[in-house]
Amino acid sequence: MIYLDNAATSFPKPEETIDSVHHFLTFSGGNPGRGGHPLSIDAARIVFEAREGLSSFINGKRSERLIFTQNGTESLNLAILGLIGEGDHVVTTALEHNSVMRPLDFLTKTRHVQVSVVPCSPAGSLDLKALKKAVSRRTKAVVVNHGSNILGTVQPLDGVREAIGDRLLILDACQTIGNVPIDVQKDAIDVICFSCHKALFGIQGLGAVYLREGVDPIPLKFGGTGSNSEFTEQPTALPDRYESGTPATPAIAGLLGGLKFIERKGLKEIVGKKRAATERVLEGLQRIPGIRVYGEMERGDRSLPIVLMNVDNREPSEVGYACNRADISVRVGLHCAPMAHRNLGTFPGGGVRISPGYFTRDDEIDRLMEVMRTIAAR
């Protein structure tokens, strides 16, 4: 089987990830922060180490402001629903995923929030002049897709910050975390939301959000935290304020393993290998008549291992099915980003997304090209 859907979730996982999850399930297994017995404390130490490691990975100033969630979507929901109030104005971009657009749609209907959508070029670059124009004194927050999950385009954070001034920046970094260096202090990111099972090599069931000091959303959920148990009032201390209920400790252990893998290999080597695989895909596809590739053909330092394509006169689903039959996993359709596909002109059919990962081999890409040549020649 050839797996080329790493933008959905990375696969296979490194040994460090598997070993870390296995070790937790075999030897630790307790509920972190719930009771003072050794297995609970061991589990809490795993959560603590992962939180410190992940906060350090993005240069967070205070690790307790790194909040674990179920996934990137929950992180974005916490930020958007917890910070944007009645009648507020929000600016966002034409490349957003439904994990941004659906909570914003909910707010337009329930809190009379006004949303301005800034256009992007067909190649996926955000119109920074239009962004600057869209922001006004009454803008409460600007929600920006850092890296497109369909085109692989990465937006320049310095340009975004310059355009929005001191407005609250909520960054969707689900695709960029682990693919592009991120420094929440240097990049002046107020809230960053991401998942941990893609380029961080964790397992599914874990996301995170980092809140700059002074940014305090209303919690998305309330309940037991293992702290301040004598009071029914939700604790104010972080991270407990936002982490009610038993966490996904096996997934947090997996993240710790993923971070160890990144540390061992080095982010530069990991990103370089994925970039080389992406270039091989781009070069190969461009040589096949009847295939259209979207986005930038020349990928710079700030692009993601994502390629979107279509075959002339073929539905993406047909291409996907042909790939399935050849034992190749690609992702077809709208990729939960209908507005981005509208912007690109590929709505409602969508496209075929190829996203190589660190473990993708050259011969696997060559096999994909053989299959694509056959499909395009039919």
Partner 1 sequence: MPHDRVYYLLFATIHDVLKAEKRLKSAGVNMEVVPVPRSLSSDCGVCIKSSEPMQVLVGFLGDTAGLRCFTFKGTEYREEEVSGSE
Stretch in the footprint of partner 1 (CB under 8 A) among 45-53, 70-78, 246-254, 257-265: 45-53
Cβ closest to partner 1, residue 44 vs residue 277: 44
- What minimum distance in Å lies between the beta carbon of 44 and partner 1? 5
Pick out residues in 308-367 that bind partner 1 (CB under 8 A).
none
Across the beta sheet with 351-354, the strand order is 291-293, 307-311, 351-354, 331-333
- What minimum distance in Å lies between the beta carbon of 178 and partner 1? 23
- What minimum distance in Å lies between the beta carbon of 46 and partner 1? 10
Binding mask 182-221 for partner 1 (x = CB under 8 A): ----------------------------------------
Binding mask 214-233 for partner 1 (x = CB under 8 A): -----------xxxxxx---
Cβ closest to partner 1, residue 248 vs residue 352: 248
45 binds partner 1 (CB under 8 A): yes
Query: With CB under 8 A, what is the number of residues at the site for partner 1?
Result: 26
- What minimum distance in Å lies between the beta carbon of 177 and partner 1? 21
63 binds partner 1 (CB under 8 A): yes
SS (H, E, C) the chain: CEECECCCCCCCCCHHHHHHHHHHHHHHCCCCCCCCCHHHHHHHHHHHHHHHHHHHHCCCCCHHHEEEECCHHHHHHHHHHHHCCCCCEEEEECCCCHHHHHHHHHHHHHCCCEEEEECECCCCCECHHHHHHHCCCCEEEEEEECECCCCCEECCHHHHHHHHCCCEEEEECCCCECCECCCCCCCCCCEEEEECCCCCCCCCCCEEEEECCCCCCCCCCCCCCCCCCCCCCCCCCCCHHHCCCCCCHHHHHHHHHHHHHHHHHCHHHHHHHHHHHHHHHHHHHHCCCCEEECCCCCCCCCECCCEEEEECCCCHHHHHHHHHHCCEECEEECCCCHHHHHHHCCCCCCEEEEECCCCCCHHHHHHHHHHHHHHHHC
Cβ closest to partner 1, residue 37 vs residue 361: 37
Cβ closest to partner 1, residue 63 vs residue 329: 63
Binding mask 1-40 for partner 1 (x = CB under 8 A): -------------------------------xxxxxx---
Cβ closest to partner 1, residue 227 vs residue 286: 227
Cβ closest to partner 1, residue 218 vs residue 237: 237
- What minimum distance in Å lies between the beta carbon of 35 and partner 1? 6
Q: Which residues make up the interface to partner 1 (CB under 8 A)?
A: 32-37, 41, 44-45, 47-48, 51-52, 63-64, 225-230, 235, 237-240
